Structures are given as C-alpha cells and as structure tokens.
Structure 1
Amino acid sequence: MSPLYGAPGPMTTLLVIAKEPVPGRVKTRLTPPFTPEEAARLAEAALADTLATVAELPARRRVLVLQGRPGPWLPDGYEVLPQCAGGLDERIAAAFGACDGPALLVGMDTPQLTADLLAPVLAPDAWTGRTAWFGPAADGGFWALGLAAPDPALVRGVPMSTERTGALQRRLLLDAGLVVRDLPVLRDVDTAEDAAEIAARTSGRFAVEHARLRQAVVR
C-alpha cells in the first residue's frame, strides 16, 4: 500500500482553483441583471469567503491555483500557483500533480462553503484505503474533489462544464478502483437566481455584497 493512503486529515493539502475577479472575465452569466463590474465584485466576494473558510482549516498546505494575479482579497497563509494552459480538466489535473499527499480541491463558486461541510475530509480516517472525496454540484458538475493519492490521470480528459461532468468524473474514480465518499450537493453561483438563493442562505462577504448590489438595482 502506498504511504499516501491512510494519512491523517491535517496532512491534507487544500487547493482552491480560481480566476482573478476581473470584469468581463468572471461570472459573465450574471450579466444581466448585474453589470460586468458588479459581477466581478460578486466573484471577488465569493472567492474571499472561500479563501477565508479554507484558511481556518487544519492543512498541510493551502494553495491558491490562480488564473491571473493575486489581489488584496488573498489572505495570509497561501501558496499561489499559476494555472497551466489548456482546458479546465488539464488545469485541475496539474493542480493535483503539484501535490505529494492527500489533496482536496474546491472552486470559487460556492461561498456557502463552511468548515462543517469539509469536516469529514479532515477527519483522522478521511483517507483510509484508496479513497476519493466527491462534492457534486446541483448543475451536474462538482464543487469538490479529493484524492488520497493525487494522480492527474484521474481528472484529465473529463469534459468540463456540462450536465454530465460530475457523473463522468465520479465514474472515472470508480473505474480506477477508488472508494468514492460523497459530500453534500451544493449550488454554484452561475446565474442571478443562483446568487440570490445562495446569498439568502449565507452571511459572509458574498451575502453582504449581493444585498448591496440588489439594493442599488432597486433604487
């Protein structure tokens, strides 16, 4: 058995994959009703909430895998790795390829992320055996992916941003002989409807920014 299997939760590397929140390049499906600048502010708020949550968790490393440049929204305690070229599957694969032990990757689209949601992945028995953790998204994708022994081949080639992405990714893990342990289904911030529902269920920076922008629209 590989020494990577069965490592304790606090030895986990936590990866956040994200884009720099630049107007016109992030959350374009929020426009309209939001302007590109407002959509970028919501994206920044979602990313800031995610990074703040991950910063509070016990981890071997905390890594922001970033397309673009870091800004004042990045808290202390993170390594920053640039995303590689290629599709999202290649970029996720490369992020796992930079890890040498159990690793969990999350995105910037779920500001409702909490420490409690990720607690099972950080438990002492989280990585027993050939384990993978999988967090399905309501739109058919996934919001979290954890691998006891990170292998880029376990992601590379999965078609991203489709209604079948999550199912195909999970099937690839199972076909590789991994025991897949599921996290709760979460909704991504993709549309204005998504943003409103998620903001109503949270109290962080994303919820505050969403309320401020919606109030400005009403005025």
Structure 2
Amino acid sequence: MSARLPATVLVIAKEPVPGRVMTRLTPPYTPQEAAALAEAALADTLHTVLKVPVRRRVLVLDGVPGPWLPPGFDLMAQGAGGLDERIAAAFGHCDRGPAVLIGMDTPQLTADLLAGVGRDSTDAWFGPAADGGFWALGFADPAHAAALVRGVPMSTDRTGAIQRRRLAEAGLSVSDLPVLRDVDTAADAAAVAACCPPGSRFTTTLNSLAEAGR
C-alpha cells in the first residue's frame, strides 16, 4: 500500500483562562500562572502541528481563540457532553481519513512523533499517557470513532487501557505511539519541561516563574 498522510490533525483544547485550565497546578502556582503555562503548552503544541505535513489542521476549542493561535488552523467549537462525546463529535467532522486527535497538555510533543501516523496500513494509532490516559488517538477511517470512543470513562487511570482494548476488540490493527507525560501537577510540569525542545514556550514560561521566586 502506498504511504498515506493524515488528512486531519485535531487539537482538542480549552481556552487558557485562569481557573479553567491546568487546575491541578494550583497550588503551588496561582490560577493566572497555571493559565500562562497552559497557554504556552497549547502554543507549543499548535506550532508543532504546523510542522506536520497534513491536508488540514483543526483546533477543537472550548472557548474563544487568542493571539496564541497561529495561522493555518481551522477552528471548531467543542460539542456538548462529556469528553468522550466531544472527541467523537470532533472525529465526526473529518470527512476523509486518516485523522488523529491530540491534546494540549504534552508540549514536549515533536513533529517526528506524529510523522508515522497515517503512513502505513494501520487502522488506528494510540498514544498512551503516563497517567493512564492517552495523548493521541487516530483512525484510518474516522467513522470508527463514534462507536469506539463514546462511553469510555475519561480522566481515570484506566482510560487509556480501556480505550486501547476497545480498538483491539473491534478488530482494528493498532500502532502504538510512545508514552508521553501530561502536565497535571507541578512535578509533571518540571519533568515535561526537561523533555521539551530547546526554546519551547512552555520551558521558557516555567523558568520565568522560577526566576520570579515561584
């Protein structure tokens, strides 16, 4: 089979508003500082996606866009319901596959990590997160998403295992991506910053807070 490219990369995210994003960073960080870190993580993620050769890039946003959104993205509002419903709805807007969805909490993501998605005959792609969730989910045919994502309990330490098992039980061939660590806690933030590419916005923001005595 000839190589394919992902038709769509979806980034599902919240507007980086204090008190609504990365709330587990508070304390030690204030809600404003946590929002600054979230904005940096989101901006890093979006600029990384710009480096991936795809036909369409979509920000699936809860909120309104700000100056952190670079050109080159279509904007889609998140649907109603739980995260499983919102993920399924996002894939529902992908008329042609393959498509992959990623979050905003892994600013250490590089374009190389996404380079293999869509380039083989695999039916699905799965990126597990260190906390038991997942940072990436992709389908060669996005029509599979509705049945395979809806009903998966989100934000638990078994979310990733349950989602991965559903893919396998549906008879899909699955390519597993490397495990990445989400930014949930202050310890996560420090560990992730150490893995970010040089000059990342996330690392710069975290370092600036440290220099300010945070």
TM-score range, shorter chain: over 0.9
1:72 corresponds to 2:57: no
**Aligned counterpart for 2:115 among listed residues 95, 112, 119:** 119
Does the 8 A contact of 1:13 with 1:61 survive in 2? yes
Moved over 2 A (4+): 6-12
TM-score, normalised to structure 2's length? Answer: 0.94
Does the 8 A contact of 2:5 with 2:98 survive in 1? no
TM-score, normalised to structure 1's length? Answer: 0.92
- In structure 2, what is the equivalent of residue 3 of structure 1? none
- In structure 2, what is the equivalent of residue 24 of structure 1? 19
Does the 8 A contact of 2:118 with 2:140 survive in 1? no
Does the 8 A contact of 1:30 with 1:192 survive in 2? yes
> Are residues 183 and 11 of structure 1, via their aligned partners in 2, closer, same or farther at CA, if it must alter by over 3 Å?
closer
| Structure 1: segments with no counterpart, 5+ residues | 1-5
Does the 8 A contact of 1:44 with 1:73 survive in 2? yes
Identity of aligned residues (%): 70
- In structure 1, what is the equivalent of residue 201 of structure 2? 205
1:141 corresponds to 2:133: yes
| Structure 2: segments with no counterpart, 5+ residues | none
> Are residues 195 and 216 of structure 1, via their aligned partners in 2, closer, same or farther at CA, if it must alter by over 3 Å?
same
How much has 1:12 moved relative to structure 2? 2.3
- In structure 2, what is the equivalent of residue 96 of structure 1? 91
Letter of the structure 2 residue corresponding to residue 145 of structure 1: L
Task: State how far apart, in whole Å, the 2-side matches of 1:143 and 1:212 are.
Answer: 26
- In structure 2, what is the equivalent of residue 12 of structure 1? 7
How much has 1:122 moved relative to structure 2? 4.5
Q: How well do the aligned residues superpose, as a CA RMSD in angstroms?
A: 1.2
Letter of the structure 2 residue corresponding to residue 22 of structure 1: V
Task: State how far apart, in whole Å, the 2-side matches of 1:8 and 1:82 are.
Answer: 31
- In structure 2, what is the equivalent of residue 158 of structure 1? 152
- In structure 2, what is the equivalent of residue 33 of structure 1? 28
Does the 8 A contact of 1:7 with 1:102 survive in 2? no
Letter of the structure 1 residue corresponding to residue 178 of structure 2: P
